[in-house]
Structure 1
Amino acid sequence: MTPNSEASSHNTTGGVLTIVMPCLNEAETLAICVQKSLLALRENGIPGEVIVADNGSTDGSQTIAVENGARVVPVPVRGYGAALMAGIKAATTPYILMIDADDSYNFSHAPRFLAELQNGAGLVMGNRFRGGIEPGAMPFLHKYLGNPVLSLIGRVFFPSPARDFHCGIRAFSKDAFEQMDLHTTGMEFASEMVVKASLLGIPIAEVPTTLKPDGRSRAPHLRTWPDGWRHLRFLMMYSPRWLFLYPGLVLTFLGLAGTIWLLPHARMVGEVRFDVNTLVYATACLLLGYHTVFFAVSAKVFAVTTGLLPNNPSFSRWFRLIKLETGLIVGGLTFIVSLLAAVWSVAYWEHSGYGPLRVEQMLRITLPSATGMVFGMETCFASFFLSMMGLRRR
């Protein structure tokens, strides 16, 4: 019997916990990992099974898994997240524990994860920094820079208690997993799970676990800098608030404050004179801030509409208030007032016989006028754009 036919011959286990392992050419360590998993279930009286989500191994990993008592789920789509999603969807138990197949994690810790799930947690994260990391188990950069920094950013961006975002052993209920509606197929899968659970208000618990050097002779699939950047990029893209909104609000405030400060006349700070040249950069900062805030709203609408981010009730209320007609009125009025200022500046120029004017004096009229007209037109166009994006939501 082939591994594929073996996979298809298994039916509902009627158990409690399924241990899912992603696998891509893990022949060196897969047998011991499956054996340890089954032993942990048996010794603790936990009904369940072990699923190996195979991502196209060519070293006989499928046969090894079946011979040691695991169920193999073939996954044609490459990627860490793709393999795990297929294995999780194939599970028939209410609880799932995912763990790497490199023999670096302690399989006997499965009961502590299950206990937290049965106490009401939807997601239980392992914490290697609390449990202990053996020498040589984690590269220096991962231990002291990558994992701590990315986990800290994750906790700042999202209301998550997890302090080890990238731990390879974690457990969750099948209901919570379906509620998360995960999309990423690569290494970002681990971060997306924590982010979605945090945003959805799914209870998250954390238990200490250990990490030891893996049993493979080859290098791990993880690539330090590319995968670290992918995780950071993912955290930023999943948080329009931190990526766009907060920087946009800061830029808008600084630009507006600088414009108001320099609009009446030049300012002296000590022996340094700030005049219209600084005013140009202040108005540019104001425009950039406005654009960035618009990006924040657009990104949020897009992410919610496509299901990348869960719906936020407070954002939905604001979105209902900001209608197309409201934006058109605000943008139109801003444009008209700014246009009147531009007309007044031309009339002033005419009064002077269209001759040379004091640059400093005129820029204090034309700069705010031009900025206001840009604001007005962009507000109108942005209102149309957001209304188009929001059609599906409404």
Structure 2
Amino acid sequence: MPHVVLPCLDEAAALPWVLSRLPEGYRAIVADNGSTDGSPAIAAGHGATVVHVPQRGFGAAAHAGLEAATDDVVCFCDADGSMDPADLPRVAGPVLAGDADLVLGRRRPTDRGAWPLHARAANLALGVMLRRRTGLALHDLGPMRAARRTALLGLGITDRRFGYPLEMVTRAADAGWRVREVDVPYAPRAEGTRSKVTGTVLGTVRTIRDMREVLAR
């Protein structure tokens, strides 16, 4: 069954619930990006493999987790409680069945507070740019996704910041991969956590900047 990479920076409040929701057979790799709230110890205490990633950046954590994985299929999921790991089989299923090479979870908010307006607007704009760039009928660069480990490593993804998820998709499209979307619920983050990507306007601006650089390359 798949390994699940959970990039992590100060997610102590959410990790117990997130790790308890992993489907049977799915094994967690918490790629810790310098947490100061005890996240690594909490993750280890709940049975996760912890990878310490000194290089700061979402992409650095995600890629270190990918490299540490040993299962054929690898999933990615946020560690902040906004996405339920119990939904991973619907994302990993088409890859495990050989029907898709990369599957993205299209976020469907369950609450008005789950997805700030500025973050949703940025995602829509990036979706338009992505469709123009790749020709793929995608609507979201959702953080829950699945693909085969060896193939992902073979894409040669270089971004180590917020552009990592986008570069994964653009390189997969250029390689002729079968890329699909499936709907997944998207809830407000666990109390006491904050998004490092789009939780603030500044975070959204940084994310757009990194992703524009990926598209420019």
Please say whether Structure 1 and Structure 2 have the same fold, judged by a TM-score greater than 0.5: yes
Partner amino acid for 1:176?
A
Q: Deviations along 1:207-246, whole A, 9 cap, x unmatched?
A: 11111100142532121222223222321x12xxxxxxxx
CA contact (8 A) 2:91 2:103 kept: yes
Deviation at 1:133, TM superposition (A): 4.2
Q: In 2, distance between residues paired with 1:175 and 1:218? A: 32
Asked whether the equivalents of residues 109 and 115 of structure 2 are also in contact (C-alpha less than 8 Å), the reply is no
Question: Is the 8 Å Cα contact of residues 114 and 188 (structure 2) preserved in structure 1?
Answer: yes
- Which amino acid counterpart does residue 127 of structure 2 have in structure 1? S
Confirm or deny that 1:18 pairs with 2:3.
Answer: yes
Contact 1:97–1:172 (8 Å) recurs in 2: yes
1:219 and 2:199 aligned:
no
Q: What's 2:116 paired with?
A: 139
Query: Following the alignment from structure 1 to structure 2, what is the Cα–Cα distance between the partners of residues 218 and 35?
Result: 17
Structure 2: gaps of 5 or more residues: 198-202
Count, aligned residues: 211
Q: Identity of paired residues, percent?
A: 32
Contact residue 159 and residue 199 of structure 1 kept, 8 A:
no
Q: Would the aligned equivalents of 1:161 and 1:204 in 2 still touch at CA under 8 Å?
A: no
Give the alignment of 1:243-392 within 5 angstroms: none
The equivalent of 1:111 in structure 2 is 89
Which structure has the larger Rg? Answer: 1
Per the alignment, residue 200 of structure 2 pairs with none
- The answer to whether the Cα contact below 8 Å between 1:22 and 1:53 also exists between their aligned partners in 2 is yes
1:202 Cα deviation (Å)? 1.2
The structure 1 segments of at least 4 consecutive aligned residues displaced by more than 4 Å after TM superposition are none
1:205 is paired with a residue of what secondary structure? Answer: strand
Q: Secondary structure at the match of 2:70?
A: coil
Instruction: Please report the TM-score for the alignment, with normalisation by the length of structure 1.
Output: 0.52
Shift of 1:72: 0.5
Query: 2:125: which partner in 1?
Result: 149
Tell me the residue number matched to 1:53: 31
Partners of 1:111 and 1:181 in 2: how far apart?
Answer: 26
Hey, what does 2:15 align to over in structure 1?
Answer: 30
Q: Secondary structure at the match of 2:3?
A: strand
- Three-state SS of the structure 2 residue aligned to 1:175 is helix
1:236-247 alignment, distance < 5 Å: 237-238=216-217
Secondary structure class of the residue paired with 1:149: helix
> Higher helix fraction: Structure 1 or Structure 2?
1
1:65 corresponds, among 43, 49, 69, to: 43
Q: Which residue of 2 aligns with 1:5?
A: none
Which amino acid in structure 2 is aligned with residue 71 of structure 1?
T
Amino acid in the other structure paired with 1:123:
L
Counterpart of 1:234 (choices 202, 210, 214) is 214
Q: 1:209 aligns to what SS in structure 2?
A: strand
Sort the Cα spacing of 1:48 and 1:226 in 2 relative to 1 into closer, same or farther, 3 A.
Answer: closer
Given the alignment of the two structures, is residue 160 of structure 1 paired with residue 140 of structure 2, yes or no? no
Aligned counterparts of 1:157 and 1:205: Cα–Cα separation in 2: 16
Paired residues of 1:48 and 1:93 also in contact (CA < 8 A): no
Residue 124 in structure 1 maps to residue 103 in structure 2? yes
Once superposed, what is the RMSD of the aligned Cα atoms? 1.4
Residue matched to 1:271: none
